[in-house]
Amino acid sequence: MQMDQIFKIGFLNENMLAKTKTEALDELVNVLIKGGLKLDSAKVIEVLQQREKLGSTGIGDGLAIPHGKISSLDEIVVAFGRSKKGVDFDSLDGKPVHIFFLLLAPENSVGQHLKTLARISKMLKTANFRQKLIETDSKRDLYKLIIEQNETCPL
């Protein structure tokens, strides 16, 4: 599955204001809702918080990939968020998170869900890409950067 099928420019928040994990999750879910998805914000955040109780999705190096399965979804969706100040997200390395990829999947999409998580993780392994995500100012340029990285990143 290509990133441009599951990630839209309207699912991007380049100026997150969140200071806490809960606020960050709320902001990321709301960017999907503002982008046109019909979601029950409270239920989605509850699913994400339950996943966080299993272990933080803050993977270190200023990155987090919160994810969960949502019964009302028909397809996988991805949102991107960036916090210039950083968010205390209980990351594995204890550092603030600046780059977020939120992944929501239908309950029955085990294989695709895991493949998409792997794809995002692989994309984020490139230090140059992470730096560009921090430095790029335009929403359109950020979107283009993410789509291009997905296309050039072998799985």
- Measured at the CA of 2, the angle between CA 120 and CA 15, to 5 degrees, comes to 55
Q: Which of 67, 98, 119, 130 is catalytic?
A: 67
Q: Which whole-number Å values give the CA distances from 75 to 7, 54, 117, in the listed order? A: 11, 24, 14
113 is catalytic: no
Please report which helix (H) or strand (E) contains residue 144, including its range. helix 139-152
Helices 110-124 and 139-152, packing angle to 10 deg: 110
Query: Which residue type is seen at 147?
Result: I
Positions annotated as catalytic residues are 67
